Amino acid sequence: MSRGAYLLDLGRVPYQEAWDLQRSLAGAVSQGAIPDTVIFLEHPPVVTLGRRTDELELHVPEHAEVDVVETDRGGKSTYHGPGQLVCYPILDLKRHGKDVKKYVHDLETALIRTLMALDIEATRLEGLTGVWLQRPPRKIASIGVHISRWVTTHGYALNVDLDPSPFTEWITACGLEDAAFTTIGRELGRAIAVDDVRPFAHAALAEVFDLQLEPLPTEDGHGLWKQPIQQQLADASVARTNATVSS
């Protein structure tokens, strides 16, 4: 039986705001105040550094209009920007197997199924995290996660339709020398919007993690609420419970 979860479908959110949001949600999920919650969004241009990033990976030009943020996720450096769909699942892994390797494998499976819905055949490469296309190998999605008290933050980034050059010109993305990066638009040979991919990503993640996603209303702009997130979601949880009791 699928487990209920919240879906936050946001617009373009600055990285630090999204990270603060994740941490707030993780605290609420850990305390049992809200169910698992999944965020989908885009970021303005930003280079994020994982815990294993080597300073030699960074070669961002001085004139580049991009933030650089050190994070607590695993992995090395990566790039986020408009035209990339980012997914941050805030899940309590005590309900999903308490297995970090399985969790990452499941994220890869969700990505592979998302791309399959767009007639793109993707796969894993042995010894490498993320999702790739073959012949020649080219990376289309990156994964980096953080887990505390079995609650997850961070997640995946799927290249929908953006210029992939920052992955190689600004950084040595994921610490991989000479790696090639691609996008859904490039593989399809046509323009495609992030919003066109969201429904497939929602469905794939829900299927893999056996979740029944309940979309939550968002405010204008990038969608974040002015009210503290824990209170907003707690109110939604109470409202859902009351509706169930009265039905």
Which one of the listed residues 174, 197, 224, 229 is annotated catalytic? 174
Cα 198 off chain centre by = 11
Closest CA relative to residue 95, chosen from 16, 150, 51: 150
* CA 121 – CA 156 distance, rounded (Å): 18
CA torsion 216→96→142→118, rounded to 10°?
-70
Instruction: Classify strands 84-90 and 151-159 as parallel, antiparallel or unpaired.
Output: antiparallel
Active site residue 87: no
Query: Are 77 and 59 in contact, with CB atoms under 8 Å apart?
Result: no
* Catalytic positions: 174
